[in-house]
Amino acid sequence: MKEILFQFGLHKENVKIQHFGNGLINSTWLVETASGDGKYILQKINDRVFKNPEDIAFNTRLIDDYLGLNFSPYTFASPCKTIYDKVLVKTKVGYYRMFRFIENSHTVDVVEKPQQAYEAAKQFGQFTKLLSGFDASLLKITIADFHNVSLRLRQFDEALDAGNRERIAQAEDLITSIIQHKSIADEYENNRSALITRVTHHDTKISNVLFDNHDNGICVIDLDTVMPGYFISDVGDMMRTYLCPVSEEEKDFSKITIRSAFYDAIVNGYLSEMRAVLSEQELTYFHFAGKFMIYMQAIRFLTDHINDDIYYGAKYDGHNFVRAGNQLTLLQRLIEFNPG
Ligand code: GN1
Ligand code: MG
C-alpha cells in the first residue's frame, strides 16, 4: 500500500484508508488525507475478471479525450496520474488506480425516488448520446461476450454438467425456471441484428451514478465495461436495479415489486437524451431490455452458485442461490407488468 500511495503522490502516514462501496468485482477504498484537503477513491482491479487492465485504461483515455475535445465541460471521472504519468500502478498482487473524490457527491444503493431513476437514466443516455459520433470499434473489449446471453446459457449448462451435485439437486426449481424462460435468449438471438452497436456502459446500476445533494445526476462512474454493445444492456440493467424497492440482495421475495412511476422515470430520463438517437426499430425493444438483463443476471448468479461461488463470491452459504431466486422473482414480476 505504501508504494502504491507513493506513486500517487501520497504518504501512508498522512492518510486514512477505509473500505468503500459494495461492488462485487473490484476492491475499493476511500483514502482521505489527514489535513482533510484530499479525498480519493482507490481501486484494485480484479484481473481474474478483467484479464488486461491496461485495456480499461486505454478505453477510458480515448473516451476522456473525445469528450474533452467535443463536449467540454462534460464531467468525466478521469483517473489520477501517478508520478510516472501513468493511470495504473502494477504491483506483484495486481493493478491499482485512483480517482479524485468529487466533492459533495454521493452514490445511492437503492433508488428511493423516481427523480433518482430519471436522473440516472438521463446520465447513461447522455453518455451514449455524446459518444454516438465516436467509433465504438476503437474500444478494446475488456470482457469478451460480457452480455452474450447465449454464452451465459452455455456456461450454465456446463455448470450443470460439472458443478456441485448437491447444489444442483437443491436448486432444481430455479434451474427449471431458467430453462422455462429460454425464449428470452431466443428472442435476443433472433432480433439482435435490429440493434445498432453503440458505446455502451454495461453496468448501469444506480450506484454507478454520482448525485449531488439535490438528487441531480453529476456523472456516470465505473467505466470498466464500457465497450461496443446494445442499448438494451444499459436500459435493461436500469430496469433490473431501479424498478424494485429492494436490491438483488433481498431474501424476502414478497418485497419484490415493480414500481410503475420508476418505470416511467427510466423511459423519460433515457429518452430525454436518446430519443433522436435510437432507431424506430430499437425503440420497440425497450421493454424487452429489462427481461433480457434480469434473465441474464439470474443465469449468472445461479451458475456461480453451482460453481461454488468462484466469480461473485458469497458472504454466506447460498448467497448466490438467494440472488438468483431474487432475480427470477423480479423477472416474473416484470413479465406480469404492463407498461402504460
Ligand atoms: C458486477 O462489481 P459490480 O458490482 O460493479 C458485475 C455486473 C453485475 C453486478 C451484479 C464485471 O458488478 O455485471 O450486474 O455485479 N460486473 C462484472 O451486482 O461481472
Ligand atoms: Mg461494475
Q: Which of 295, 36, 65 is nearest to 184 (CA)?
A: 295
Distance CA 159, CA 321 (A): 14
246 burial type by CB count under 10 A (0-12 exposed, 13-18 middle, 19+ buried): middle
148 has a pLDDT exceeding 80:
yes
Task: Answer whether 5's CB lies under 8 Å from 11's CB.
Answer: yes
Whole-number pLDDT of residue 1: 85
CA of 94 to the centre of ligand 2 (A): 17
Question: Which of ligand 1's atoms lies nearest the C-alpha of 237?
Answer: 14
Convert the pLDDT of each residue in 270-319 to its tens digit. Answer: 999 999 999 999 999 999 999 999 999 999 999 999 999 999 999 999 99
Q: Which of 298, 291, 271, 75 is nearest to 184 (CA)?
A: 291
Nearest CA to ligand 1 atom 16: 25
Residues whose CB is under 5 A from ligand 2 (ion)?
Answer: 203, 222
**Which residue among 20, 51, 203 has the greatest number of ligand 1 atoms within 8 angstroms of its CB, and so is best to mutate?**
203
**Does ligand 1 have an atom closer than 6 angstroms to the CB of 297?**
yes
- Bridging pattern class, strands 209-211 and 217-220: antiparallel
In order of start, what are the domains of the chain with their CATH numbers?
A: 2-100 (3.30.200.20), 114-336 (3.90.1200.10)
Q: Is the peptide bond before 73 cis (omega within 30 degrees of 0)?
A: yes
Whole-number pLDDT of residue 36: 82
Convert the pLDDT of each residue in 258-281 to its tens digit. Answer: 999 999 999 999 999 999 999 999
CA of 242 to the centre of ligand 1 (A): 15
37 has a pLDDT exceeding 90:
no
Whole-number pLDDT of residue 218: 96
State the pLDDT confidence band at 35, using cuts at 50, 70 and 90. Answer: confident
User: Which cell numbers in the block locate residue 63?
Assistant: 473516451
State the pLDDT confidence band at 190, using cuts at 50, 70 and 90. Answer: very high
The pLDDT of 94-100, averaged and rounded, is 96
Distance CA 78, CA 63 (A): 10
Share of the chain above pLDDT 90, in %: 96
Convert the pLDDT of each residue in 18-27 to its tens digit. Answer: 999 888 999 9
Write the single-letter amino acid at 228.
P
Convert the pLDDT of each residue in 162-180 to its tens digit. Answer: 999 999 999 999 999 999 9
155: part of which helix (H) or strand (E)?
A: helix 149-162
Convert the pLDDT of each residue in 196-213 to its tens digit. Answer: 999 999 999 999 999 999
Question: Which of ligand 1's atoms lies nearest the C-alpha of 50?
Answer: 11
Q: List Cβ neighbours of 109 (8 Å cut-off, separation of 6 or more).
A: 22, 206, 207, 247
Whole-number pLDDT of residue 340: 75
**Does ligand 1 have an atom closer than 6 angstroms to the CB of 25?**
yes
CA of 331 to the centre of ligand 2 (A): 21
104 backbone φψ class: left, alpha, beta (φ>0; ψ -120 to 50): left
CA of 48 to the centre of ligand 1 (A): 13
Task: Answer whether 311's CB lies under 8 Å from 304's CB.
Answer: yes
Ligand nearest to the CA of 237: 1
**Does ligand 1 have an atom closer than 6 angstroms to the CB of 49?**
yes
